[in-house]
Amino acid sequence: MNTILLLSPIILVLAAAIYFIWAFNVRRKKQGIQKEIIKSGDRGERKVQSVLRKLEKSDSRYQVYHNVKLGPDSVHTNEYDTLIVGPNGIFHIETKNYGGERGGIIDIDSNNNWILHKKSGYSKIITNPAGQVDSHEYRLQGFLSRVVGIRNMPTHGILVLSCDNINLRYNKKAKHEITILNRHELVDYIKTYNRGKIVLYPRTIKKICKKIEAMNSTVKVKAN
């Protein structure tokens, strides 16, 4: 009995040490996964930025911003992967690098649930990005109304899939809640949106851009 009592503290210390080592390894693994997700997202954004250079030429009528924060005030803001201001409207773009470099398939069921099937055979449910795009729309309208002073400005949210090897499969009953494009479709879509009808004149575009840059003192802008 005395031996057991003597060993009990040692056993407890060993058990605690084993638990902390296990917890540390689990945490480190999660951090590693999160870093890879961030790196994958950054690669996807760079791919989209590359195709958008066509809108950043000296003769372009569009202003392209990357990674800007906008909202009705400096406290209540959302971060936008890309924002494009042009004569036929304002486009806010959310980039997703689903499938990484290898790609896969996204199934959208009748309840608008998104299921990603990777080429490795691994499948998982992913968050429907419609809510994120809607949130960006809400904040953008607040920015335009309260900061720029213009109401009912034509804006359009787009989800861009940066991976070239990702395919979508819709259930027939699924609702198309948001515009989804691959990155190579983006420029033509923007130029021909609403048949290219002019709704914003240069003076208005300049005013909007000035307010965007004021809210983002270190904004990454591709100026004409």
pLDDT tens for residues 42-94? 687 899 999 999 999 888 999 999 999 999 999 999 999 999 999 999 999 99
The end-to-end CA distance of the chain, in Å, is 84
Q: pLDDT at position 146, please?
A: 96
- Say if residues 44 and 96 touch (Cβ distance below 8 Å): yes
Find the DSSP H helices in the chain.
2-51, 130-142, 186-192, 202-215
SS3 call for 63: strand
Question: Residue 122's pLDDT band (boundaries 50, 70, 90)?
Answer: confident
Q: Is the pLDDT of residue 138 over 70?
A: yes
Q: What is the mean predicted confidence (pLDDT) over 108-123? A: 90
Give me 52's structure tokens.
């958008």
Q: pLDDT at position 223, please?
A: 43
How many domains are contained in the chain? 1
Q: pLDDT at position 52, please?
A: 96
Q: Is the pLDDT of residue 188 over 60?
A: yes
Q: What is the mean predicted confidence (pLDDT) over 97-124? A: 90
Give me 172's structure tokens.
């027939």
Q: pLDDT at position 43, please?
A: 80
Place of tokens 């609403």: 194
Q: pLDDT at position 12, please?
A: 65
Question: Residue 119's pLDDT band (boundaries 50, 70, 90)?
Answer: confident
Phi, psi of 218 (to 5 degrees): -115, 35
Contact residues for 28 (Cβ-Cβ < 8 A; gap 6+) = none
Q: Is the pLDDT of residue 29 over 60?
A: no
Q: pLDDT at position 181, please?
A: 96
**Cα(107)–Cα(159) distance, integer angstroms:** 16
Residue ranges making up the domain that contains 206: 2-222
Phi, psi of 64 (to 5 degrees): -115, 125
**Cα(85)–Cα(211) distance, integer angstroms:** 12
Q: Is the pLDDT of residue 3 over 60?
A: no
Q: pLDDT at position 102, please?
A: 83
